Amino acid sequence: MTLIDPIPAQRTIGVQLAASSSDFPTQTHGLLCEIKEDGFRVRAVLDDHHRVQILLGRELTDRTGQLPYLEQTLKALLPPNTVLDGELTDPACGFAGVSAVMGSRLTHMPDPGGELHLVVFDVLAWAATPLHDHPQSVRSHHVDTLPQAPTLRRVRRLPPTRAAYEQAIAAGEEGVVLKHPDHPYRATRNAWVKVKPTSTHDAVVLDILHGSGRNTGRPQTLVVDLLDPSGAPSGRTIRASGLSDQEKDLAHSWIGQVVEIQSNGTTSTGLPRHPRFLRLRSDRSARPSSPRTSTPTAPAATGAWVRNYAACGTAKLARILAELEAGEGDAVDRIHSKGGDLQLNLQRAREAARAKGLL
């Protein structure tokens, strides 16, 4: 009798979740401490015939076949009847890159060598031996013995100390997950705690993006320019979501006003991570921008700088497009530094992606 035949039976084991905290606990002795990856939750299942199933998110949605290079890696390195729990990440583009691929924005994933990585942090079964009832320490030991490849990585661990946590945040990590070593794998939030910093940023509203479906014609997302320490617009533009229904009805009048944005710390580029609207700052206004002393790159014939997207390779273009769609990342920073228009660059990047068969 096999452990996971048929494969869909694995959905009967719920997804272990974590409680949330914005401050590192004082009592952490004996806990396991792991880097919190910024991506999509994935369960990878191999049955006794070495078939692979990729189950995405808390709902364990079947996305088998969307990541063929990862599935081939799992077949090559892991024994049958094995179940892994982990995070699908994009080292180049971060969450935006994973979202672009798994959101089916691309119909063809370039570079089968692997843009996305599976970072494994738990093993629910190994070679037909069930492990989900075993303590976390036993399952984590199995993680430590996993073979690695460019697209298959083990979770990174840290000492369970505030100093190690603060160093990780300073290095641009999203946060950490603390795990009790004696608990089995259960679909609860009792044994894991994710610790992520929250920070706030003042910004001036530049534009309002409208939603679709039931939100058609209603404000959905704010396009904002972060204010520098002097209170002047910095030229670093991001998109902030999180408007309530009541706020959506009021947001039309917010252009030019200052809002407070909350985020889970900052990315390696210094931009807010997962920015969301917190409140309207009716008590303050943005100062005029200081004159720039540097001369921007000469604009294109359209009047604004536009990157030559047709010259980009498919893998690079896919990464750039993911950042432009998300409104954050190195590609967005470069457009701002060159005096370019984000929407125009997004349009040109999409045109190049269609020409290369990516959309």
CA dist., res. 282 & res. 215, Å (int): 26
d(CA 200, CA 12): 40
Mapping DSSP onto H, E and C, the string for 200-211 reads EEEEEEEEEEEE
Secondary structure class of 321 (helix, strand, coil): helix
Catalytic annotation present for 248: no
Partnered with residue 258 across adjacent β-strands are 204
Q: Are 69 and 86 in contact (CB under 8 A)?
A: no
CA–CA separation, 143 vs 123, rounded Å? 6
Please tell me which residue in 36, 179, 196, 338 is annotated as part of the active site.
36
The DSSP line for 11-64 is GGSPPP--EEESS--S--TT-EEEEE--SEEEEEEE-TT--EEEEETTTTEE-T
For every residue of 221-268, DSSP letters joined together read: EEEEEEE-TTSSEEEEEEEEB---HHHHHHGGG-TT-EEEEEESSB-T
Which residue, 37, 38, 42, 39, is CA-closest to 53? Answer: 42
Catalytic site positions? 36
